[in-house]
Each structure stands twice: as structure tokens, then as C-alpha cells.
Structure 1
């Protein structure tokens, strides 16, 4: 998206233009006014200068929100009612209060999200020690805002002043909001969720399916968000704004949405039409309010219901209605829907949606809806491609401003909004025009990994503090903690890109060879401190370690890399196994090693060797499948052998799967070992589960849906699923293919199922004190039809919108990379239409554009026999087109190329 703006991207630097000429530009329906004058270049800051400083880790149980005190102590609210205090001087964490809160339902398979939800401190905390908590008291179905006083580092429970409370329906899930933030002039903002169930009514024909909850049938109030977020007379699904008084009461500031006290409205409402505004932030200079809006779960637009789900980051410059449950995203309208017969009504009107729900106590017509500031679905976003794809939990952080005395971050970020993602883990800096309009976003802290960031606050030192919930829902997570983000203007710590173990297992004595890829960003020498487990450490001056283990066991291997200034960085941890060795699995094929041919058997043999043990043939599992292929050069043809735990598990860790699932622990999604056990006897478990991951799923393990992952590659999803299935592999009774046999491909394979994968795995019996080890070998064969969309290397052709190759010059070529020519008798050219001008010669050449000619023809014959190659090597093949006369016009339009076997 290009705009005429005051900030333009130029290489790796941003260029600011200022002048006396006013330029008007429209963006998202708003007018931007910019001045152009003199040009100033600002280099993009080095992302490796952002570092995490761990303050406390592994001691929190469901942290929700934090507040950084003037002395840099930090208060942290935990959902189950504990208020924790981190002391900056002692680096210790202690509990300073325990509120008796409602945090768990009495119903099985229904999670409560209520509890101690929000926390902030008074702008004058240094003198009054006031702390504000938003919580769900036990015994009364309300959410409550109260003021407390800190006395000698403890929260005085007797000091509580109840400021505000409102009804909240319990024993349902979900959407609480709960974030607190002060803005300019001491105004307090309170976010509240719509307190509505996004799930389907059990045993009903017409259900919600992840769209706006508009079910107004009697007794189903929790399925109707028009009673809360869409109701002008209800405080749920809103962001409230109040002016606090010293006695614990409050007044209504000017500018609220219904500040004049209209009938059927609540004057506390600043913003309405919210689903779950989970984290809010107020720009302390402009007073603009920002929040992340966690959106609904529908994966596709629906003609009857309306748009798919979007998460939003929103900006309110003044009071307004932001649409839910009538609109989502860029004011995409839902339609009224009759849950008694499955018929729909008209789309809601953005100028003023009608609320005719019998559960509505407010106005019959709500204020005009405002579109989102940023919006994105589960899949990739066309409007905001940088947000990626996958699960969605949008969060809004602070707007950064330079401190006059000493700013902790580069001036480049002055005035930028920081947004972040709880599930996806990214952090972005949003550039805005002087009036607040969106211009662009870019990664910030791009080299840092976060474990489900749930709150981000600016401390009095101007630095960003991040509260990490940890990867796992409703539990105490070892990666939960508080980190401070520093920007190193001088020396930078080393960068560790990978830790490589050449052989991760072996019989005793087991020789470990470990290598680390690391560099010093400032060009200095490095020192390597290797952690070998059981307290054993070794130091080297080279990025390699050799060590011999003589005692059986599983050892966690990692390395910490130090520069000459003693700044350091740690590698990941890789477990190695001394006393047992991964088995070896080979798949042997006869015939061509690159392609399979429809109707022609592929002869295979699987050979397993288990060093130091006898192979148990019942533990061999062999299967085949047809999966989506990548480009011909990129597809890993032939063998791919590795320990199962090092493939799928690694892919899983890089995805958002670990946020909702644990290997064996409790989280919002089922544990991986339970999934593995459930599907062990299903012959097509891998295909079934992979489809669920890609398309999304709900209702199998409970109400919480699994989002679609349409951007993930099918091959990688299957590797993740294979790792999951390996967790209970010893219990499997799935029928395996024989160790020697034939696989006959069907006569027709669709384009997106173009790779035949033969997979063989073996799980050994383990060794004394060591678990079983699994090795999987995969052999990939491409379809003999090579679609031109898979071809990346070519000359003289252009690729049109229909993926056809059109020759634009008198001569040209396309390249087939690294293929086996064993048994190949001819290459066929598939064209889009007949006839073709025969004034061209076609040559099939080996390895180079002018290499040995394997076959030659003119375009009157589309089947070109080639000379047999029997060296069992992989070769590049060039298909070269030459005009017989220079005056020939290029009329060749290729659709596909195929190879033909004898």
C-alpha cells in the first residue's frame, strides 16, 4: 500500500520530507495533511540491539496485568486472586495480597476467565500509594473495580473502596476484558468483555458456528451479545471512562458517549461495541485510546451470517461505537439471523444498527459504527500482510515518546504505537500521521522470542516491561515471567543461530560432537561455555566441543556464548542419549528415484538396523500418502532421515501449537499424548489430524475451537502430526505395509497432491534408564507431470496470470532441477492450445544450457524421445527453444511438462 505521507521507505533508511506545500491524501476514508520540505534520513535501528533482561521467571500462575511503580518495583495480578510484588532492589518476588475471587466454574469442560483481571496504580502513587484492581468477587455475580492502599509493601485489604461494579453472568465462557489504564487529566479507562458464549448451543439444528452471537431465544441470554456489547444501557462489552474522586466515588467526564445521561444509556461508556478488549493503552500526549480486540472464530465468510472472524487493533480519538456484534473488521456487516429456522435478515446498517433483541435494555438504534484501525483474520491479511497467519490474540501496548533527559530507545520510534500478539508472539511498531491515521507497521524487537506476552507497560524509566503468561492456558508455566527490554547503544551480545549435534545418540562410550553457529555483532572474539547436564560445564575458544559420555543417560546439551565484554546469549537445549542409539531405517527403491508414474508400481524395500539390539519387526511401521508438493527444485526428493523427535517437534515449537497444547500437561487444548493415544488405532490418523490443523476444528475435545492454519504447508503439518503420533507409538496396532512390496499410484493425481511420500519408522525397545528412540525415513517421489507453476528457473519466457509460460523472445529455456533420468524415455510438452507454429527447434540438454543433447525435435512433435542416462545421479535438464528463423514470432504457450518412462 503506497501513500503520500510524511515518512517514506527508502532502502533500509526512512526519509522524512518537510516543506511548505500542503498535500492532501486519503487513507481508509480519512484525509491526511502533510508538509514537504527538507529531507532527513533516519537509519532503521539494529534489531539485535534490543535485548530481554529477565527479572523473574517460572514463579507466576496465570499472570494477567502489571504496574511498574515509581521505584521500579512491579505489582503483578494473577487471575486466581494473588497480588504479587517484585522488588527491584532484592530481585525477589512475594505475595502481598490474596483476593477471594471467582476463577473456576462448577461445570466440567467449561473454563472460567474471570478472577483478578486488571491492575493499575494512581498517577499520584508516589504520594498516595493507591492501587486499583478489577476483579470478580466470590459469591456475587459481578465484576468490581476497587481502590486499595499499599502499606509497607502489603496491600491493605481494609482500605478497599468499591468504586464500580456491574452484573456478569457466570458459569459460562467467555470474554472478560479487565484492563485498566490512566490517561491524561487523571481519567481512568476500564475495559469489559461482552460476557457472551461464542460456542454452539448443544443439540440444536441452527447454531452460531463462530459468527456474531445473536441468538435471542428464551433462556439463551449468554448466546446474545446484543444484550451486552450491543446494548447502550449495559457496561459489558465496553471501555468505560471515569473521573475518580478522593472519597472513592467518580464523576463522568465530558466527551463520553452518553455523558448527558440520555434514557436507556450508561454515562460511564466511552467506547461500546467490544467483544473482548483485553489489553488497552492510552497515548499520554494525544489522549487517544488503543486496544486489542480478540475476535470471533469463523474461518470463512458466509452468505447467511456474514464475515469471517478478525482480530482488531483499535484507536478511539473520541467516544464511539466500534460495531460488535453488528460489525467486525473494516465495518464488515453481520446479518440478522433467526435461530429457530435458519433464515437470515438484512445486513446491519453501519449508520445505526437496530437492536430488537428481547434482551436489550438500551436504545433501539445504536450509534454509527466505526471501522477498525487494524484488522486481520486467521489466514494471511491482504491489508496488513506483516501480521502473518495462525491463531489470533491482538494486544495494544504503549505509544513511545523520547524522554528529554535520556531516552532508552532510538528517536526513530518517537510517536510510534507498539502492538503485539499473545499467540503469534510478534511485536510491531505502527507509524501514524500527525492526526493519528495509520501509515505503516514494521517489526520491532524482531530478534526476541516472547512466551505469550499478556501485558506490556512503560516504566517510569521509559523502558518497556513485558509480562509473559507462558505457553499453556490455565496453569503455572515455567516460561511465565517479567522481562525488561533494553536497547544496547554500545556493545551487543552475541547472536546464536543454531546448535548442531552431529549424532544425538550412541552406545557407550558415546562421543558427543557439538557445534554452534554464533557471531559477535561487534566483530570481537567469543568464548563458549558448554552445559552438558548434571552440573558439568566445559569452556572452549572454538565453536565446537567433543566430549565422551561413559555413563548411560539422557543429557540436555546447550551452550552460552560470551563476548569479550562478558555479554552473552544462550542456545536452545538439545537432549542426547548415551547408552542407546537411534535405529537406522533405509528405504530402497528400484527404478527412477525422482518420479512416480500413474498405474506403474513403485518397488520398495525397507531395511532396519538397531545397533546393539535385535530388530523387532512388529515395531516397524510403513505407510504411503500423496501430499501437496512445493517447487521441483525445493522438494526434497529421495531420502530424508532423522530422529522423529528432531523434525515434527521442532516444527511444532516454531508454530503457535505450543500456546494451546502441552505434551502431557493441562492447557486450553488437549495434551499431545492424549491426542496420540486417541488416534493410534486409526489407519488414516495423520491425514485426518493434519486436515483438522489446516482447516480448523471444534467440538472434538470441548468447546474451544482450534483455529485454521491455512498458510501452513501440508507436508510440515503432517510432520508435526507424525511426531504427535509417535508419543504413543508403542501402543499402536495400525496395519503397516510389508517391508518389501509395491505401491501402485492411481491413474489420476490432482496437482495439489503431487508428491508420493513413502514413510518408514522404527521405535526401538529403549535401554536401561532410557526411553525408546524413534527414527523415521521419508522418501519423496514427484508426479511425472511437472506443472510450470513449480518451475523457478527460466529465460526468454514470462509467466502469465494463468500460470502459462509464453515465449517472449526468439530463444529461451526452462530448467528442471536435480532429477533422476533413470528409465526416462521421453519428455512431453503440454500446450494450452493447437496449432503451434513449427518454426522452432526444441533441444533437451544435460546439466547446462549448452550441455550434451539428449533429444531434439521441432514443435510439430510434442513428444521428444531422449537418450537414456543410467548413472543413477541427479541432473539438471534444460529444455531449450530456438527459432529456426530470426523473423519468427514467439507463439509458444506452455502449460506443463511431463516425463515418460519406458
Structure 2
């Protein structure tokens, strides 16, 4: 096989980084912490709060249970490794801080049986005592070597201090890493190697550091580690490798060096120096904490543990240097590593796969060690040198953006698995596992299509356009358009013109084919019978700028073929609805970038709630404000979303949402508590204004997306359509790290100097801002720094080779620099390019940029002041954390007159028949003779109950608008608490002495869960209906009345 791979390598084309692509495998992970991979490609995933997921090869990730881990300091569920015989015994190992014993870190053997972790089979392997009051720097990564032995990385358990942590003064033992890392009788600050026993406990393998227990603990393979967060074993060579997160000594103390992050690799046991040595075995200077004086440097050949807190040997094994090391400043030896804050993560060595797949990593990287940095968000590939060090480091997957890479593993097919933690330090719910694949050969095209206009009167000319389609290989594309009947629409090129003549929805499909025959399809829909309203925004001007805490004028016009226009007064100006959404990362950020908001839009949340105004339920801004300070608010609201509840905000109960898992509900709660603000939602009028309060330091460099919309009255039996217009306005000061485009840029979160995200640019690298209206902008003010003398920053229009409009040569320290701007009118893309006349060292970043400010000239400043005066009387306060997407108004019972409702029975109900399916009614109910789901009563059979009401039609509508007002006990939701702590909610269809049959997701009633009674800890009833409120809020008035007519059609009574 190796010969075949070698021959194949000779024929491989050069590595093309654009062919390295990311394939999502699992998302929505809570503080994603670690993974391991089986020989069959199955993956186990752990989350710091205790979650365990299993991802079978080719399948979907599913939760198999929870480890009862205590989450505090920097501990929780930290490491995971499969047992070599997992396929036969279901066993795996986890390293965690147990809830019931926070004074230790514990390695436990667990077993998955019948798809769930069986706690009765847990076996404790080893416990490592820790000082829980300073549960920091405790590593926690584990791995198994080729012989099935477990490697555990444990840190020094010493919180960071400005000095070197060797403080022996009374009461300062936590600041003494000599008590742990350099202590031969302590398991902290070590790499341990043990052989776990199936019945619990462990054996000591041969070849560890101390042969005689008198010399040191026999479990120790390597000592002198600070925070060995991720440990790996190269099964091909037996070498053990780990990333050790290093110290940052305050230079004011006089101690040298300042410290390094390290990659260590070794096939033999040893002492790796901490806290006396760092990096290339560079000795620290000693330090007297009383006199604040530095002393002589320590001796790496004869290290001595002189601490009064030491319980082991005084004379230590000679210290060894790291294989790779780097500090907070740029490394001359490894320039590709950049500079700034750091947190190294050791990845795997890329080896020829045993079962090579089509998308395995490119042969260029064979034999290289992959190294990541959790703070700098990069991955590099390093040469493995024969002397045990690492050679050149080259950027890997630099075309991809990583969000704190946490763990990297090779899959058996040669693809790469990357686990990302998420943006925040903790309480993330957006962690993700992805597979990196290298696309060889022909890549299929990507089909995209539009229809313009998407709606109109019968016979309207519609342009179907597939021009946005693309092919990664640059192949010429062929386009074939077909209508809903499958008939080919004649024509050449990406566009066609059609004139649909009949009212209703018309579907069209385009097939895009590349030069090698690979194809992809896209669909568009055109609605005929009702023309789309036309909305235009006069203010603010698209591409312009706003200033925080200053009013912004909003002006719009609307015209509609059927309804008239605001100019003529036939469309009331208050029908124009304004929405605004803040995008802290710029115009390129997806609207639903927060996963919780995306889940809420896909659910029924905005049927009852709006972001900034009260609806049937309270505004999310009020929910966030009320619960944000409350301890335990996240779990409380998560439970309420899944199980439902009432009484918190008024008389309307909140229905349960059992279709969402607790993890999904937590993501929704995260958005409500962290992101939802007062918001500009539903503000109306042809002229309005908004005030934009400053969002705080971290979020002050983005854009506002401002949208004006109008919903027409419908026409010719077709539903109402909403037309809208959107403009982007930019913060006067934009962050370089969050530019709309970038190339050759490394984004680093600098927590030491600038204390913000920075963009470091390679030679000819650039950052770009899209769609800027530069009228009246006289200068750019840039905060930047050079790392190489003579590096300059050029401002260019359109692209890195566009017309130059200004330039500056920053000093070699961050400072503000003014670039006078040549007079420029109109909307342009502007890029800031790093230029250097001389050569640039490989991987170097000659320029760093923090922000750029767009300064108006004198005349422009006067115009801005006049517009603000006009806007002040109209101001509403928005929030930089607002989001759009909620309906402007929910239906209320009082919105319908007695005359309208009494006339319902005169309608034939045909139009309402389609609504039964569109709204999902028949997914839960039968409606007369029309068979449907079993999650609610047959509507026709429930109608006689309403005949007792004074106005039965109004009573029926009232129960649809407020489905939890009256719920038959038979149809109430049950909440089931399982022995694992997991909660399941839904409708009980049937139950026996041994099982409960329950439907959790009202949108998928065919999926019945069978729950054994012996797993049920508690089952309780909720007062809320499974039917969501706000079900009708997407309908027009006539549609509501047509639906009522259809429901009443089967009534036998009055």
C-alpha cells in the first residue's frame, strides 16, 4: 500500500489551498472540548459542561449521555479517548472534575450500552488531587498510544501572576509551580502514562521517567509542564507530543525570558523544565519576592527544586528544550506564527492513511505535524526534523476561518477533523466539528438563480437569471431552464425571459453543467396575480456613515400597482415598517449569524414575540433585561422553552416546544439574554429616525442594515406580498479585523496591548470595506503599526491594484495616522494594502491595523449637522444588538368585525383547503373526512362544543389565536424526566405498563418515541397546548376568514 501511495504522490498536482474545503459534521456544541476517532471513522465528542456525543461514520451526531462534571475555573469535562476495543465493549475514557469531589481530576472508564452511557458500569482509573480554589492551568487532554496506554496532560495548577510562579512565601503556595510541575512526587504539571484496567485502577507500563518509586511517581512520563492542554501520540513512531501553553512574565519584574508557548515531542521520558526553563531550554532568572531583585539564571544541566513546598526529589533530571517555541512577539525562526496573544494546540502528524479516501489530505503535508493556536485562530504545518525539533512552519488552510480550534485529529481515510470551541471564553453554544477535505479532480459547479421580479400581474415579463452560479475550477458553464411541467425553456446563456399567464405560484429550475459533465440545480418561484410592492429608501443614503449616540433620519416611498402609492396618499405612510439590525462584523456577516436567532426564526417564536415591542408575548428586549441579572436564568428559560409555562408576563400561557432539544433551547436563550436589545422593530412612517447608542468596546466597528418594508393587501385571490428596500450604513470607525474582505491577513485577539482584535497584513495583503459612499470624506484616520521599517499602508479603490487615493508609513508602534483622501464621489470598495519595497521574510506580517475612521470634510460636516436637527424630534432609540425578522403585527380577536365573522359561512371554503396543509393543520388534526395527524382532536368533532357560545365563529377564532386557553386533558403536553437527567416533552399517544409512546415534534408526528417506564423519573402535565400561538400571523385577512370557512364546512350544527 505504501508503494502505491508513493507512486500516486509522484503524479499528484501541486497543492492548491483553494481545494481545501470544510464540511460541517456537528454544530451547536456547548464549549466543545475534545474528540477521538476510531479506526472505522466514528468520532466521540465531549463538551466542557459534560455532554457526550457519538458520531458514527457517515451518520449524524447524537447525544449518548452526560458526565457529571463540575465546571469551575478552567476545569470541567476535559479529555476523551476511545478504548481500543470500543466496537466490542463500548468503553471509552474521560478526564474530568467530578461534581461530588471537586478536589480531584478523575480518569474514568465509561461504557455506552444500548445507545446510552450506563453509569452503573463506570470504573475509576485514577484520581489526581488538585487545589480546587485555583483550578487553573490543569490541562486535561488525553490520548491513547498504539499499545492502548492512556496519556494524560495535567497542568501546574498555578494561577498566573506577573512574576515567575516560584513564590514560596507563607500563604503563597498557589503561586509556586515548584510544588507541582517540578515536584517528582506530584502528578500535576506532567504527562502521565498508564495502562487502565477494565475493572478499574491501572498498571504502570515500562519506560516511564522513574523506575523506582523512591525517585518519583511511577506514573510520570514527562515532568516540567505548565499547561499541557492537548497531548498526542504519533502511532507510526511512538513519539509523544503536546502543546504547552506558556507564561507571560511582566517585563517590569526584570525576569527573563518572558516565556514561550511550546510544542514538545519525545520518544523517551524526561524533564521539560517548567518553571525553571522555557522554550529552547532557556533558563529563567531567579527572583526574590521580598526584595524584588533578580538573581542568577537556573542551570538546565543541574536543575534543583529548592522550594519549601516540594515533597519530592531536590535534584531533578536535566531539562530538555522544546521542539518549537514562540512568544507574544513575532518569531524570527517561525515567522508564520505571527504575534500577539497565544494558546498553542498540538495536532496530529499527517501520515499515509490505512484506508485512503478520495478527499485525503494532499501529499505535500505527509509527515508534517499540524499545530494550531486557540487565540490566533490559525493552523500551521511543521516539518519534523531528525534532531527532535520542528523545522519550517507554513500556513495551513489559511483560506478558512477558524473559531478557536480546540482539537485536531486525522480520520482513517486521511481527511482531517477540526473541533472549534466558539468565539467566547465560556458558555458557548456555537462550537462545531468539521471535516477538512482536499478536493481532487473536477469540482461540481454551484447553481444559484434569481427571478426578477419575483411576483406580478398575469403576463408580466420575468427574467430568470443563473448568472450568480459559479465553478471553482473556472470551467465554462451550460445552463438549461425548465418549467414546473419539465418543459425546456428555449434560449442560450444563463438567462431566460418568461411570461407566466395564470394566477398562482410558478416554479422554474435551472441545471448548471460544467465542461466535464458535473452539474447542479437551483429553483426559483414566481407568484402571479399580485404585483410586488416597490419600496425605495431616500434616507439614510446607502453606503454612508453613522456616528454612535447621534440620530439617523429615515425616509422611504412606496408604490404598488394595486394599492397605489404613498406619494398619492392611497397608501398610508404608517404602513411603512422600519427594521434595523446591527452587524458588528460588517456587511459580509450573515443576518442570522447567531445560531439561536436562526433557530427562533425557523420556529414559531416570532408568532408571539417581537424583538423590541410587546406582542402576544413580551418583547425579547424586556425578557433579556428582566432575566439577565438573575442567577440560573439560562437554565430556567431553557426549561420554559421546552416545557412551556404561564403567569410570568400576563394571562397568555407559553406553549411547550418539544421539537427543540435543550441544547437548541439554550442557543435561543443565549440570543435573548446576550443579543436581543430594545431594537428598532416595527417603527412606522414615511419619515422616522433612529438613535444608535454605543454598543461597547468589542462591538463598535460594524454596520447597520436598515430595511423599510410594506405589505400589500393581496389581489386576485393571491396572498399579500411584502416589498422591501435595504441600505447598509457604516460605523464612522470600522475595525480592521472585521473588514468585509481580506487577503493575506491574520486576525489576532490582542489582550495585552491594544486589547482588541487586530488584523496583521502580509506583504501585499489587504483588508477591504465594501460599498462605501465616499462623498464628502476628506481623510482616513488609521490606527496602525509596522513591524518592518519602510512598510506602508496604501488606500486604493476597487481592489489592491486599483487607483491609489492615499498612503501612510506607520511607525513601529501602534499610533494614529492621517491619510488625506483625494476627492472621491459615489460608492466604492476601498482596500488598505500593505506594501514593502524590499523582501519580506517568509510568513512575516509587516503591518498591523486596528481601525480606520472615515473623516468628513467641513461642508459634509455641516450637512450632517442639519440632517441630525431634522431627525431629533422623530428619534426612537435602537440597540446595537437588535435583530430583524419578527412580524410587524400579530392578529388579535378584536381585529375582526362581527359582520366579517357572520359572513364567514357564506364563503365556499375552497381557498381555505390549501391553508390546512400550508399551516400544518393536517399534520396534527383530522378535519372532517380529511385524515390528518393524531396530535389533536378532529376539528369537526370539536365544533359542537362551541355551539353554546353566543358567537361560535368568534369563539373558534379565539381558540385558534389562543390555543392554550381551553385544552382538553387528553391533548395536554406531558413532560418526562429521564434517569439521565434529560427532559422529553410532547403528547402521549398511548402507554402500557412498560412503555410510554410520545410525539415530541408537532411538525413530525410520524416520529414516535418509545420510552421504557423504568427510565422515567417523573412525568407531569403542563397547562399549555402543543399548538403554537401566532399560527395565523403570516396570513392576510381574507386567508384567515377562508380558513374559518373551511373549518366550519364540516359542522353539523349552527
User: 2:393 aligns to what?
Assistant: 441
Structure 1: give runs of 5+ residues left out of the alignment. 1-14, 17-38, 105-111, 199-207, 500-510, 530-539, 547-558, 570-576, 588-605, 614-642, 700-704, 723-748, 761-774, 782-788, 794-902
User: 2:218 aligns to what?
Assistant: 267
User: 1:101 aligns to what?
Assistant: 69
Residue 178 (structure 1) aligned with residue 140 (structure 2): yes
Q: State the distance in 1 between where 2:465 and 2:519 align.
A: 25
User: 2:518 aligns to what?
Assistant: 565
Q: Structure 1 pair 389/686, CA: closer, same or farther in 2 (3 Å)? A: farther
User: 2:230 aligns to what?
Assistant: 279
Residue 82 (structure 1) aligned with residue 51 (structure 2): yes
Q: State the distance in 2 between where 1:65 and 1:690 align.
A: 32
User: 1:360 aligns to what?
Assistant: 310
Q: 1:129 aligns with which of 75, 85, 90?
A: 90
User: 1:308 aligns to what?
Assistant: 258
User: 1:485 aligns to what?
Assistant: 436
Deviation per residue, 1:319-374 (Å, 9 max, x gap): 11222222222223322223333222222222233322222222223322222211
State the SS of the aligned residue for 1:226: helix
Deviation per residue, 1:728-780 (Å, 9 max, x gap): xxxxxxxxxxxxxxxxxxxxx999755267999xxxxxxxxxxxxxx999999
Q: 2:265–2:389: 8 Å Cα contact kept in structure 1?
A: no
User: 1:370 aligns to what?
Assistant: 320
State the SS of the aligned residue for 1:186: coil
Residue 255 (structure 1) aligned with residue 207 (structure 2): yes
Q: State the distance in 2 between where 1:750 and 1:309 align.
A: 26
User: 2:421 aligns to what?
Assistant: 469
Superposition deviation, residue 651 in structure 1: 10
User: 2:932 aligns to what?
Assistant: none
Q: Structure 1 pair 308/580, CA: closer, same or farther in 2 (3 Å)? A: farther
Residue 50 (structure 1) aligned with residue 20 (structure 2): yes
Q: Structure 1 pair 45/306, CA: closer, same or farther in 2 (3 Å)? A: same
Deviation per residue, 1:437-493 (Å, 9 max, x gap): 433232333433333221122334443222222222312333x22222223333225
Q: 1:585–1:609: 8 Å Cα contact kept in structure 2?
A: no
Q: State the distance in 1 between where 2:147 and 2:412 align.
A: 18
Q: What pairs up with 1:187-266 in 2 under 5 angstroms?
A: 187-198=149-160, 208-209=161-162, 211-263=163-215, 265-266=216-217
RMSD of aligned residue pairs (Cα, Å): 5.7
Residue 348 (structure 1) aligned with residue 291 (structure 2): no
Q: State the distance in 1 between where 2:518 and 2:472 align.
A: 11
Q: What pairs up with 1:573-652 in 2 under 5 angstroms?
A: 580=537, 583-584=540-541, 612=556, 649=586
Superposition deviation, residue 129 in structure 1: 2.5
Superposition deviation, residue 271 in structure 1: 1.1
User: 1:153 aligns to what?
Assistant: 115
Q: State the distance in 2 between where 1:253 and 1:135 align.
A: 23
Q: State the distance in 1 between where 2:244 and 2:732 align.
A: 34
Superposition deviation, residue 137 in structure 1: 0.6
Q: State the distance in 2 between where 1:710 and 1:516 align.
A: 30
Q: 2:361–2:416: 8 Å Cα contact kept in structure 1?
A: no
Q: State the distance in 2 between where 1:379 and 1:719 align.
A: 28
Superposition deviation, residue 147 in structure 1: 1.0
Superposition deviation, residue 678 in structure 1: 5.8
Superposition deviation, residue 518 in structure 1: 5.0
State the SS of the aligned residue for 1:184: coil
Q: What pairs up with 1:162-177 in 2 under 5 angstroms?
A: 162-177=124-139
User: 1:737 aligns to what?
Assistant: none
Superposition deviation, residue 148 in structure 1: 1.7
Superposition deviation, residue 268 in structure 1: 0.8
Q: State the distance in 1 between where 2:429 and 2:202 align.
A: 38
Q: 2:49–2:69: 8 Å Cα contact kept in structure 1?
A: yes
Residue 120 (structure 1) aligned with residue 71 (structure 2): no
Q: 1:143–1:168: 8 Å Cα contact kept in structure 2?
A: yes
Q: State the distance in 2 between where 1:187 and 1:672 align.
A: 48
Q: State the distance in 2 between where 1:239 and 1:279 align.
A: 10
Superposition deviation, residue 145 in structure 1: 0.6
Deviation per residue, 1:202-231 (Å, 9 max, x gap): xxxxxx32x532232222322222221222
Q: State the distance in 2 between where 1:420 and 1:586 align.
A: 37
Q: 2:224–2:275: 8 Å Cα contact kept in structure 1?
A: yes
Residue 380 (structure 1) aligned with residue 317 (structure 2): no
Q: State the distance in 1 between where 2:307 and 2:676 align.
A: 42
Q: Structure 1 pair 524/287, CA: closer, same or farther in 2 (3 Å)? A: farther
Q: 1:297 aligns with which of 232, 242, 248?
A: 248
Residue 755 (structure 1) aligned with residue 828 (structure 2): no
Q: Structure 1 pair 790/88, CA: closer, same or farther in 2 (3 Å)? A: closer
Q: 2:408–2:416: 8 Å Cα contact kept in structure 1?
A: yes
Q: 1:305–1:335: 8 Å Cα contact kept in structure 2?
A: yes
Q: State the distance in 1 between where 2:243 and 2:479 align.
A: 43
Pick the structure with more strand per residue: 1
Deviation per residue, 1:85-130 (Å, 9 max, x gap): 23445x43332222222103xxxxxxx2211111101122233322
Q: 2:768–2:830: 8 Å Cα contact kept in structure 1?
A: no
Q: Structure 1 pair 416/678, CA: closer, same or farther in 2 (3 Å)? A: closer
Q: Structure 1 pair 672/418, CA: closer, same or farther in 2 (3 Å)? A: farther
Deviation per residue, 1:623-661 (Å, 9 max, x gap): xxxxxxxxxxxxxxxxxxxx99789737999xxxx9xxx
User: 1:4 aligns to what?
Assistant: none
Q: What pairs up with 1:405-804 in 2 under 5 angstroms?
A: 406=356, 408-433=360-385, 436-478=388-430, 480-492=431-443, 519-521=471-473, 523-525=475-477, 565-566=518-519, 580=537, 583-584=540-541, 612=556, 649=586, 676=694, 706=755, 711=760, 754-755=817-818
User: 1:143 aligns to what?
Assistant: 105
User: 2:239 aligns to what?
Assistant: 288
State the SS of the aligned residue for 2:222: strand
Q: 2:769–2:831: 8 Å Cα contact kept in structure 1?
A: no
